[in-house]
Structure 1
Amino acid sequence: MDEQFLHYIWKYQKFVKAPVQTTGGHDISIFSTGSHNHDSGPDFEEARIKIGDIEWAGQVEVHINSSDWIRHNHQTDAAYDNVILHVVWNHDKEITVNSQPLPTLELKNNVDLELLNKYKRHIHAVDEIPCSSQLPGIHSLTISGMLDRTMIDRLASKAERILQILSKTNNDWEEATYRTLAPNFGFSTNKEAFVRLTELLPFSRLKKALQSAKSTEALLFGQAGFLDEVQDDYQKSLKEEFSYLRQKFQLVDPMVKPQWKFGKLRPANFPSVRIAQLASLLHRHPKLFSLLIETKDLKVLKKELLVEVSDYWQTHYDFGKARKTPSASMGISSFENLLINSVAPLLAAYSKYTDNQDFMNRGVELLESLASEKNRITKKWGSVGIKPKSAFDSQALIELFSNYCKRRRCLQCNIGVEILTK
């Protein structure tokens, strides 16, 4: 037994209702089960029920055992003083609130056991997507509605992380943009290394050198630890420039190159190449956040962001190591990954910060204009008949898999609820 199932039973009233009584023998009439609260506090808010001859409006708390009220320390939390009904599977202890017995509804004798068994079979399915075999029978509107919900949840979650960065950088949006953008140049392999780089080289220092492409590269490669062992004249010139700028800007000790991972990466994804791409973007757009906010035409925005690297990096993938085939800019898939995981969330964060829905709409439109991502999760969904058409869909499916399927939160998913209800 778990509380997720009990939430479902209460929310959708999947219990015998003729008659329903409290453990104290009083009849219960349910007018509204309330709105499901996924934050802290009681599980359901604004419920309306009648116990005996008195109608109540307030909160409902759900537990497996009545004694969980004490185990969770609700008796010391004023947020639970307005609970009007305690819904439990097993009533093992009398609970009082404000010296009065708390009305309790015990469910274990009022629920069809076949429904419970069906739920257990579902969440214990061996497939990573528990409902994979039942998806063909699910209404398309149920699936699309859930994808809309998970996409907005994912975008909102990313936006919240950006707002947390913003709060730590004195509400400097250009700094927050830099710290959001840079880690995505490292993908999963070098993400943390890029985070560390932005901490050792804050944008407040870097922006003073962005007018010069050479100074920009010198600062980024120097603080990243790439300039210790000189391989050629260009690296030597960057090292000399960095030595001067490091003293001028009073920078802390840089990283060391072994903190960056090269193994199992194609040369095009080497961290040296990614740092060069970041340097070119920041040099061309020193006020990058302003560009994102002020450019409404998505085609223009994409064109502005897809910049060429400097001459040296068009023919090299690391210092002293030449490319076999010259390349001027990052690949389309890498570029679109940047738009999906940095630009769209930044627009969403600014929407929340300014309470302006237009920026959220632009973030959503950007995702809808991009091709679907191709990864292990989207391939898994494709194998069960759900194929994403855009980045909006692929992001929604990634969130659905990671936050619902993988965690077996089936009864908080519209698809899982429809399956169990059938």
Structure 2
Amino acid sequence: MTEDFLYYIWQYKLFTKTDLFTIDNQLITISKSGNQNKNSGPDFLNSQLKLNQQLWVGNVEMHLKSSDWYLHKHEEDVNYDAVILHVVWEHDAVVYMKNNKPLPTFEISNFVSRELVSNYSSLLYNQQRFILCENQIGLVDEFLIDNWLERLYFERLEQKSVFIKDLLSQTNYDFEAVLFQLLAKNFGLKVNGDSFLQLAKSIDFSVVRKEVYNVNTLTALFFGQAGFLEDEIEENYYQQLKEEYKYLKHKYKLASISKNNFQFFRMRPQNFPTIRIAQLASLFFTHQNLFSKLMSLTNKKEFYELFNFEIQEFWKSHYTFETTSKESPKKLTKSFIELLLINTIIPLKFVYLQNRGEVNEEGILQLIRQVSSEKNSVISKFAAVKIKSKNALESQALLELKNNYCTKKRCLHCAIGNNLLKS
């Protein structure tokens, strides 16, 4: 038994509605349960109830045991002076108000069905499961699950928005600059994401705006800032970039980061940081008004077309500056573009529309539903319990469900958990 469960029972009135009595036999009639207090103080505020036909308006405090009132020293806290009812699971001590009269106490366990308690216990106390409700989730109506996943997807978007808004505050709400930083981070993937973000932050975006019209200059800027142009390599292309960066560094008073920040070990060659930096430079050269284009697109195929740009010739036959390789176009794959949609473009579009007061939730849902479901161990395990992800909306929502509800045992705050508890 937990206090969270008591809050849940009280808030949704999951107990006998009639013939309710306090421990000293006062008849209770509940008009309003009150508003749950997420801050310090009593658990429910502005409650309304009658005790033997006398109307009381005030706060409700809840404990597993009556004696917890003294354990928590509420008798010393003026915030609890307006408590009109003490709701407990087990009454083990009389609590007195400041006028030395007993505080009305409702032992709620006597009015809750055994089935509800049994459902709660079986749901929360089996530790050997991927999710606590994996044996029961198949009983939940598909319509309820679909609606819950939509809500969870927007919860995930809101969480991603926190990071984006922090970047915006650092750039004086320059959405183009933040797009550059977010794209750089995602071009680095998990292994090099932080280093790519550090690279993007090391360049004031006003410099990118000025130099975006020359692909060699932009490439020199990116590689130079990443620390890749400090070696002695006898390669004409490398020497050209090195000379160009030397000029840029002096012109803009730049300070580069170290190339040691970037990892190559155990990475597929197409994900080498050198390739991703070259692609990033080619992308911003090809689309010099990239932000406005991305914000205007609504169809997955349009994004495929936009990201179908040519990398510089040198990189078609190289993965690093030092060695040549079999020639290949090294274009962004569809799966990589979809990762950009999931992690960068749609979250940034959501924040951009929020900032303009123009959020179109249905448009966001239509776009994310076009993106393929992610493939990872969490999504696979959900599929094993008959919850299959059909698109990226559902895979993102399932990740949110697992990480912020299932793992934290927040079944009482989950639409699926609520449904199963009340079944």
Same fold by TM-score, threshold 0.5 exceeded? yes
SS at match of 1:317: coil
CA deviation after TM superposition for structure 1 residue 342, in Å: 0.5
User: Aligned partners of 2:248, 2:179: CA distance in 1, in Å?
Assistant: 23
Label 1:223 to 1:161 Cα distance change in 2 as closer, same or farther (>3 A). same
Aligned residue number for residue 168 of structure 1:
170
Aligned residue number for residue 248 of structure 2:
245
User: Aligned partners of 2:308, 2:82: CA distance in 1, in Å?
Assistant: 56
Aligned residue number for residue 9 of structure 2:
9
SS at match of 1:338: helix
Aligned residue number for residue 300 of structure 1:
302
User: Aligned partners of 2:132, 2:100: CA distance in 1, in Å?
Assistant: 45
CA deviation after TM superposition for structure 1 residue 216, in Å: 1.4
User: Aligned partners of 1:342, 1:306: CA distance in 2, in Å?
Assistant: 17
| Cα distance per residue 1:236-283 (max 9 Å; x no partner) | 22122111111111122x221221122221111112222222222222
Instruction: Flag structure 1 segments of 5+ consecutive residues without an equivalent.
Output: none
User: Aligned partners of 2:340, 2:75: CA distance in 1, in Å?
Assistant: 45
User: Aligned partners of 2:307, 2:42: CA distance in 1, in Å?
Assistant: 46
Aligned residue number for residue 405 of structure 1:
406
Q: Kindly indicate whether the alpha-carbon contact (under 8 Å) linking 1:306 and 1:335 is maintained by their aligned counterparts in 2.
A: no
Aligned residue number for residue 421 of structure 2:
420
Partner letter of residue 416 of structure 1?
G
Aligned residue number for residue 396 of structure 1:
397
SS at match of 2:123: helix
Q: Kindly indicate whether the alpha-carbon contact (under 8 Å) linking 1:160 and 1:349 is maintained by their aligned counterparts in 2.
A: no
CA deviation after TM superposition for structure 1 residue 341, in Å: 0.8
User: Aligned partners of 2:225, 2:100: CA distance in 1, in Å?
Assistant: 63
Partner letter of residue 131 of structure 1?
C
Bigger Cα Rg:
2
Partner letter of residue 201 of structure 1?
I
Stretch deviating more after TM superposition (387-396 or 33-42): 33-42
CA deviation after TM superposition for structure 1 residue 128, in Å: 1.7
Matches within 5 A, 1:247-286: 247-252=250-255, 254-286=256-288
Aligned residue number for residue 178 of structure 1:
180
Aligned residue number for residue 151 of structure 1:
153
Matches within 5 A, 1:330-345: 330-345=332-347
Label 1:385 to 1:248 Cα distance change in 2 as closer, same or farther (>3 A). same
Which of 226, 229, 232 lines up with 1:227 in the alignment? 229
Q: Kindly indicate whether the alpha-carbon contact (under 8 Å) linking 1:63 and 1:69 is maintained by their aligned counterparts in 2.
A: no
Label 1:89 to 1:310 Cα distance change in 2 as closer, same or farther (>3 A). farther
Aligned residue number for residue 29 of structure 1:
29
Q: TM-score, normalised by structure 2?
A: 0.86
Label 1:35 to 1:331 Cα distance change in 2 as closer, same or farther (>3 A). farther
Stretch deviating more after TM superposition (264-273 or 288-297): 288-297
Q: Kindly indicate whether the alpha-carbon contact (under 8 Å) linking 1:86 and 1:103 is maintained by their aligned counterparts in 2.
A: yes
Aligned residue number for residue 121 of structure 1:
122
SS at match of 2:29: strand
Aligned residue number for residue 203 of structure 1:
205
Matches within 5 A, 1:307-346: 307-346=309-348
User: Aligned partners of 1:73, 1:204: CA distance in 2, in Å?
Assistant: 61
CA deviation after TM superposition for structure 1 residue 413, in Å: 1.0
Aligned residue number for residue 239 of structure 2:
236
Identity of aligned residues (%): 37
Label 1:379 to 1:88 Cα distance change in 2 as closer, same or farther (>3 A). same
CA deviation after TM superposition for structure 1 residue 310, in Å: 1.9
Label 1:388 to 1:99 Cα distance change in 2 as closer, same or farther (>3 A). farther
User: Aligned partners of 1:222, 1:404: CA distance in 2, in Å?
Assistant: 44
Matches within 5 A, 1:46-125: 48-55=48-55, 62-64=62-64, 66-67=68-69, 70=72, 75=77, 87-89=87-89, 94=95, 105-112=106-113, 115-125=116-126
| Cα distance per residue 1:25-66 (max 9 Å; x no partner) | 643322343566778887656655434435466765555465
User: Aligned partners of 2:101, 2:165: CA distance in 1, in Å?
Assistant: 44
SS at match of 2:319: strand
Q: Kindly indicate whether the alpha-carbon contact (under 8 Å) linking 1:75 and 1:97 is maintained by their aligned counterparts in 2.
A: no
User: Aligned partners of 2:327, 2:201: CA distance in 1, in Å?
Assistant: 34
CA deviation after TM superposition for structure 1 residue 188, in Å: 1.5
SS at match of 1:357: coil
CA deviation after TM superposition for structure 1 residue 70, in Å: 4.9
CA deviation after TM superposition for structure 1 residue 160, in Å: 3.1
Aligned residue number for residue 132 of structure 1:
134
User: Aligned partners of 1:38, 1:361: CA distance in 2, in Å?
Assistant: 31
CA deviation after TM superposition for structure 1 residue 87, in Å: 4.0
Label 1:101 to 1:93 Cα distance change in 2 as closer, same or farther (>3 A). closer
Aligned residue number for residue 352 of structure 1:
354
User: Aligned partners of 2:213, 2:250: CA distance in 1, in Å?
Assistant: 19
Label 1:348 to 1:42 Cα distance change in 2 as closer, same or farther (>3 A). farther
Partner letter of residue 413 of structure 2?
Q
Aligned residue number for residue 388 of structure 2:
387
User: Aligned partners of 2:366, 2:60: CA distance in 1, in Å?
Assistant: 39
Partner letter of residue 262 of structure 2?
W
Partner letter of residue 308 of structure 1?
E
CA deviation after TM superposition for structure 1 residue 343, in Å: 0.6
Q: Kindly indicate whether the alpha-carbon contact (under 8 Å) linking 1:49 and 1:57 is maintained by their aligned counterparts in 2.
A: yes
User: Aligned partners of 2:183, 2:143: CA distance in 1, in Å?
Assistant: 35
CA deviation after TM superposition for structure 1 residue 410, in Å: 1.3
Label 1:372 to 1:243 Cα distance change in 2 as closer, same or farther (>3 A). same
Aligned residue number for residue 20 of structure 2:
20
Partner letter of residue 324 of structure 1?
K
Label 1:144 to 1:245 Cα distance change in 2 as closer, same or farther (>3 A). same
CA deviation after TM superposition for structure 1 residue 304, in Å: 1.6
Q: TM-score, normalised by structure 1?
A: 0.86
Label 1:101 to 1:248 Cα distance change in 2 as closer, same or farther (>3 A). farther
CA deviation after TM superposition for structure 1 residue 367, in Å: 0.6
Instruction: Flag structure 2 segments of 5+ consecutive residues without an equivalent.
Output: none
SS at match of 1:189: helix
User: Aligned partners of 2:36, 2:95: CA distance in 1, in Å?
Assistant: 25
The number of residue pairs the alignment matches comes to 418
Stretch deviating more after TM superposition (219-228 or 120-129): 120-129
Q: Kindly indicate whether the alpha-carbon contact (under 8 Å) linking 1:48 and 1:57 is maintained by their aligned counterparts in 2.
A: yes
Q: Kindly indicate whether the alpha-carbon contact (under 8 Å) linking 1:378 and 1:388 is maintained by their aligned counterparts in 2.
A: yes
CA deviation after TM superposition for structure 1 residue 168, in Å: 2.2
Q: Kindly indicate whether the alpha-carbon contact (under 8 Å) linking 2:119 and 2:420 is maintained by their aligned counterparts in 1.
A: no
Stretch deviating more after TM superposition (22-31 or 172-181): 22-31
